[in-house]
Amino acid sequence: MYPDLHMTTDLIRKPRLLLSLALTALLTLPLSLHADSAADQPAQSPHLQGELPLQELRNFTEIFERIRTSYVEEVDDKTLLEYAINGMLTSLDPHSAYLQADAFSDLQENTSGKFGGLGIEVGMEDGLILVVTPIDDTPAEKAGIRAGDLIVSLDGEAVMGMTLSDAVEKMRGAPGTDIELEIRRRNEKELLTFTLTRAEIKVASVRTEMLSGGIGYVRITQFQENTGTELSSAVEDWRDTGNLNGIILDLRNNPGGVLDAAVDVVDSFISQGRIVYTKGRVPSAEMSYSATNHTAAGKTPVVVLINGGSASASEIVAGALQDHQRAVIVGTQSFGKGSVQSVLPITEDSAIKLTTARYFTPNGRSIQAKGITPDIWVEQSEVTPSEQRFYKESDLPGHLSNPNGKAGNQQAATEAPTESKADSMLKKDFQLYEAHTLLRGVTILSPRPES
């Protein structure tokens, strides 16, 4: 039944043949025999229910034995098989991975909002580490790391050839320790060098600020379990004051996070209809989420800010509000991460992270590899006040006085206004400034939005 394999030396004949027989016998069994529960298994196509390709299994066992006997350094069988699993998963797409004990623990820490390291959401691109986004108020963000940067080396060691998990492990470390990153940045001729000091990363999911004109500003840095509750509470507090004329929802450089939190955020702005749905190959990958009747924001006008660092759950929120015509999307094209990863435990301390479905907006648009296109395209730039000086009527000798009191510029000359935190935010952030200007225009035309 199992023909002998081609041999180049008698030295490896017996162990290789035994391994081949074992693997072939195991992998050609019907898949249902390996299941813990038949109900948990997806329906298989006729091709998958049949035998796996014998020639490829022969190739695998041949390569496995060549490495065992001929590689320059000895590698134990357990490590080789882990490498094989890693390679099989990472070759599928940039997000599927084998999570051994440390990586599995890291994933759980990331979704809790507290972990150690530099504060960078990363992926892979052409063998280099891609910075999807730096997280607010972390060593990476404070040092000037930007979304789209490519990490070339870590402490002088080239990342080319590293797996993503290896690179992440190297960037993690005890708080207070330093690491040097070499970065390739678009439009920069030379590599940039950054020395970052590791810290315990505590991500505050929701930050709020009341801007001028009754415009509420909500910054979501990452979607965590309580994000939706925190946002709803802030919006309801503003509405209780009776002075909420608009909301800016800032999702820039937000790498995503917990799907249920993204659904809760959208539910704070709409009262009916679908929010997001997924499509996969198996029934368990088919999901659909819809809004509930409770809507914290009522019909308050909303602007959503996005950019190239807005990914995954951020894109779900922006896409849903755009499809429902509930918000104006302002900024630049989002990242385009529209796939669903399921964490499937293998043992008590290991799992695989496997891409099992794609996200779709309520109108059926796929986010994957495309992202969300803003309604109003606004590039980020510096806000620089003009130095021009204009003479006014009040500067002219012998001008008529204002019967209502002193001229406005006379008061301004004697009293310099104190700049608030909100004013400072608007002066430093052009995209936020444009979003605020848009909502102020709506407020002027309709100062009391319907609730």
**Where do we find the tokens 């996005």?**
306
Backbone angles phi, psi at 372, to 5 degrees: -105, 130
Terminal C-alpha separation, the chain: 75
> Rg of the chain over CA atoms, in angstroms?
28
Residues forming the active site? 312, 323, 337
Q: If you ran DSSP here, which 8-state letter would residue 257 be given?
A: B
Going from the C-alpha of 341 to that of each of 31, 121, 196, 407, the distances in angstroms are 22, 16, 30, 63
Amino acid at 158: A
Name the packing angle between helices 164-171 and 101-112 (round to 10°).
70
Is the separation of the CB atoms in 374 and 119 below 8 Å? no
Tokens representing residue 331 in the block: 């900024």
Distance in angstroms (rounded) separating the CA atoms of residues 185 and 334: 18
Is residue 150 classed as helix, strand or coil in its secondary structure? strand
Instruction: Please say whether the beta carbons of 192 and 183 come within 8 A.
Output: yes
**Residue 73 — φ and ψ, nearest 5°?**
-120, 150
Tokens at 29, concatenated: 């069994």
Long-range contacts of 1-6 (CB under 8 A, 24+ apart): 5/58, 5/61, 5/62, 6/62
List the one residue out of 115, 131, 122 whose CA is nearest residue 97: 122
